[in-house]
């Protein structure tokens, strides 16, 4: 065993790349859940983003357009969930599971012609000065733009929820839709917007998988990333900063586990892969034991104005 062969600089850099898809999806889902909606269809939206982003990038030659198209496509798909749960008042758990089915099926059909193709990928940014810093340069400042965008998005969501009036309203809707409704806020409209945003984020996360991290399109390539994003939101107890920690922790465990193996260490793979979920449960217990319920009070409950 030679743990010295693990380069911590490269390890951190890898973790950042490996965590970006789940970070993007999780931050979007957090906003959705903050508005009081539980959308279990993240996996379906991510994989739709992955295939649409890839297809558009291949056809236009522009990964940026690919990301934009992925965000739009997944957001539109998420609206089917939005309309069903918000307008037709269907159960959110069942509808979310249905969305996953639809996304997986749809993506495989769209993706058939793109199997085995290569796409243009995002260039690594060459940030002057910062990129030349001795350790931090390689670790933090030599990634592609989406890594920074995902971080900016976390900051933006944090600021939006904490400091803006719109953010306050969104939280109010999630905590008590009846009160928000009584105050004259359009509960359904606000939730639809949150769902749309969550879809767009999941789409970006999926496209990051197919355009940067892997990069290729293969059927079923998200392989459960969407479910991990859901776990991260819970782990984070619905706080933007902790979503970042959670995503890097979940992404980090996989990368670290593989790195330890590569360095020749004997690792209990199953135990390590289980640990983030056990930690999440522990976090849940801790926050609920303190009496502060992290979850938005109306999470998963249907809202109808006349009821």
Partner 1 sequence: MNRRTLFTSVAAATLAATAAFAQTDGEPVKAGFIYVGPIGDGGWTYEHNKARLAVEEEFGDAVETVYQESVPEGADAERAITQMALSGADIIFTTSFGYMDPTIAVAEKFPDVKFEHATGYKRADNVSTYSARFYEGRAIQGHIAGSMTETNKIGYIASFPIPEVIRGINSAYLHAKKVNPDVEFSVVWAYTWFDPAKEADAARALIENGNDVILQHTDSTAPQAAAQEAGNVITFGQASDMAEYAPMPRVSSIIDDWAPYYIDRVKAVMDGTWESTDTWDGIGPGMVGIGEITDAVPAEVKEEALALKESIASGDYHPFTGPINRQDGSVWLAEGETASDGDLLGMDFYVEGLTGEIPN
Partner 2 sequence: MIRLEKRPQPSQLWTVLTPVLAVLLTMLVGGIMFAFLGTDPLEAIRTIFWDPLFNPQFAGFTRPQLLVKAGPLILIAIGLSIGFRAGIWNIGAEGQYIMGAICGAGAGLAFYPADSVLIFPLMILCGALGGFAWAMIPALLKVRFGTNEILVSLMLVYVAENLLASVASNLLRNPEGMGFPGSRNFKQWPAAHNAELISGTGMHWGVAFAFIAVILAYVLMSRHIQGFNIRLTGEAPRAARFAGVNPARIVILCLGISGALAGMAGLFEVTGPAGQISIDFNSGYGFTAIIVAFLGRLHPVGILLAGLLMALTYIGGELAQLMLGVPGAAIQLFQGMLLFFLLATDVFTNFRLSLGRKEPA
* Interface contacts to partner 2, rule CB under 8 A: 38, 40, 80, 84, 88-91, 93-95, 97-99, 101-102, 104-109, 112, 181, 219, 227, 230-231, 234, 270-271, 273-274, 277-278, 280-281, 284-285, 288-289, 291, 293, 295, 299-300, 304-307
Give CA angle at 30 (153, 172), nearest 5°: 105
Q: Are 16 and 248 in contact (CB under 8 A)?
A: yes
List of residues contacting partner 1 (CB under 8 A) = 5-7, 10-11, 14, 18, 21, 108, 111-112, 115-116, 118, 209, 213-216, 218-223, 225, 254-255, 258-259, 261-264, 266, 269
Alpha carbon distance 303, 307 (integer Å): 8
Q: Which is nearer to partner 1, 224 or 241 (CB)?
A: 224
Residue 76 Cβ, how far from partner 1 at the closest point, in Å?
25
Residue 225 Cβ, how far from partner 1 at the closest point, in Å?
7
In 3D space, the residue among 4, 8, 12 whose CA is nearest the CA of residue 264 turns out to be 4
> Cα Rg for the chain, rounded, in angstroms?
20
Alpha carbon distance 248, 19 (integer Å): 5
Q: Which is nearer to partner 1, 220 or 241 (CB)?
A: 220
- Helices H, strands E: what count in the chain? 12, 0
218 binds, among partner 2, partner 1, none (CB under 5 to 8 A by kind): partner 1
Q: Which is nearer to partner 1, 4 or 291 (CB)?
A: 4
Residue 284 Cβ, how far from partner 2 at the closest point, in Å?
5
231 binds, among partner 2, partner 1, none (CB under 5 to 8 A by kind): partner 2
Q: Which is nearer to partner 1, 90 or 273 (CB)?
A: 273
Residue 46 Cβ, how far from partner 1 at the closest point, in Å?
11
Q: Which is nearer to partner 2, 204 or 228 (CB)?
A: 228
5 binds, among partner 1, partner 2, none (CB under 5 to 8 A by kind): partner 1
What sign has the CA pseudo-torsion 143, 151, 7, 222? negative
Q: Which is nearer to partner 2, 126 or 270 (CB)?
A: 270
Residue 28 Cβ, how far from partner 1 at the closest point, in Å?
19
User: How far out from the chain centre does Cα 1 lie?
Assistant: 35
Residue 144: what are its φ and ψ, rounded to 5°?
A: -85, 170
Alpha carbon distance 152, 24 (integer Å): 10
Q: How far is residue 125 from each of residues 118, 131, 210, 216, measured CA to CA in Å?
A: 21, 9, 19, 21
Q: Are 66 and 53 in contact (CB under 8 A)?
A: yes
């Amino acid at each position: 065993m030679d743990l010295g062969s693990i380069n911590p600089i490269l390890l951190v850099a890898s973790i950042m790349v490996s965590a970006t898809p789940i970070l993007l999806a999780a931050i979007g889902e957090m906003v959705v859940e903050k508005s009081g909606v539980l959308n279990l269809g993240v996996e379906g939206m991510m994989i739709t983003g992955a295939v649409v982003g890839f297809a558009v990038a291949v056809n236009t030659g522009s990964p940026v357009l690919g990301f934009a198209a992925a965000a739009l496509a997944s957001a539109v798909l998420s609206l089917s969930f939005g309309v069903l749960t918000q307008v037709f008042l269907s159960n959110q758990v069942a509808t979310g599971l249905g969305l996953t089915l639809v996304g997986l099926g749809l993506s495989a059909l769209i993706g058939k012609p793109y199997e085995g193709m290569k796409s243009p990928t995002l260039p690594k940014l060459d940030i002057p000065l910062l990129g030349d810093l001795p350790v931090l340069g390689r670790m933090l400042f030599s990634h592609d733009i989406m890594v920074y965008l995902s971080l900016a998005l976390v900051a933006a969501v944090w600021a939006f929820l904490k400091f803006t009036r719109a953010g306050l309203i969104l939280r109010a809707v999630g905590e008590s839709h009846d009160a928000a409704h009584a105050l004259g806020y359009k509960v359904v409209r606000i939730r639809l917007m949150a769902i749309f945003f969550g879809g767009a984020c999941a789409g970006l996360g999926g496209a990051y998988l197919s355009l940067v991290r892997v990069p290729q399109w293969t059927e079923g390539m998200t392989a459960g990333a969407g479910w991990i994003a859901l776990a991260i939101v819970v782990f984070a107890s619905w706080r933007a900063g902790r979503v970042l920690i959670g995503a890097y922790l979940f992404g980090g465990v996989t990368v670290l586990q593989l790195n330890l193996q590569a360095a020749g260490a004997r690792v209990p793979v199953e135990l390590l892969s289980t640990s983030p979920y056990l930690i999440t449960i522990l976090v849940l217990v801790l926050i609920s034991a303190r009496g502060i319920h992290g979850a938005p009070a109306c999470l998963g409950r249907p809202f109808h104005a006349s009821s």
